């Protein structure tokens, strides 16, 4: 918990500008499959992103929202996208993973 609270992770809580936008997209990416049916219902009946094109689009929206939540401008965002290996080659969660 110490690492999390001392990190630069934005402290988003319900009511913050990006909270709903980010949490909804994270839910759609993470709560798919039969094992998460009950959780989807508790979260308001979210529709999981299961098709690869849809997952990539939702991930891009989530990434963009994170840049906004961190307060990064275009130049800083370009730096992250160009220089961070994991951003250029993200591990996509699919059924095999």
- 3-state secondary structure (DSSP) of residue 59: helix
Does residue 36 lie within any of the structural domains? yes
Q: What percent of the chain has pLDDT over 90?
A: 25
Nearest to 39, CA basis, from 55, 15, 19, 23? 23
Mean pLDDT across 47-73: 90
Mean pLDDT of the chain: 82
**pLDDT, tens only, 3-46:** 767 777 667 778 888 988 998 999 999 888 888 889 988 888 88
Total number of domains constituting the chain: 1
- Domain assignment present for residue 9? The answer is no
The predicted model scores a pTM of: 0.71
64-94 core/surface letters (b: 16 or more CB in 10 A; e: else) = ebbeebeeeeeeebeeeeeeeeeeeeeeeee
Residue 8 located in a structural domain = no
| Domain extent for 55 | 16-88
CA 55/CA 48 separation, integer angstroms: 9
């Amino acid at each position: 918990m110490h690492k999390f609270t001392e990190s630069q992770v934005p402290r988003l809580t319900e009511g913050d500008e990006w909270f709903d936008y980010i949490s909804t997209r994270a839910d759609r990416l993470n709560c798919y499959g039969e094992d998460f049916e009950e959780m989807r219902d508790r979260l308001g009946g979210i529709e999981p992103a299961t098709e690869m094109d849809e997952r990539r689009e939702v991930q891009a929206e989530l990434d963009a929202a994170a840049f906004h939540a961190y307060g990064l401008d275009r130049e800083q965002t370009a730096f992250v996208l160009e220089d961070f290996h994991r951003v250029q080659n993200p591990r996509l969660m699919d059924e095999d993973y």
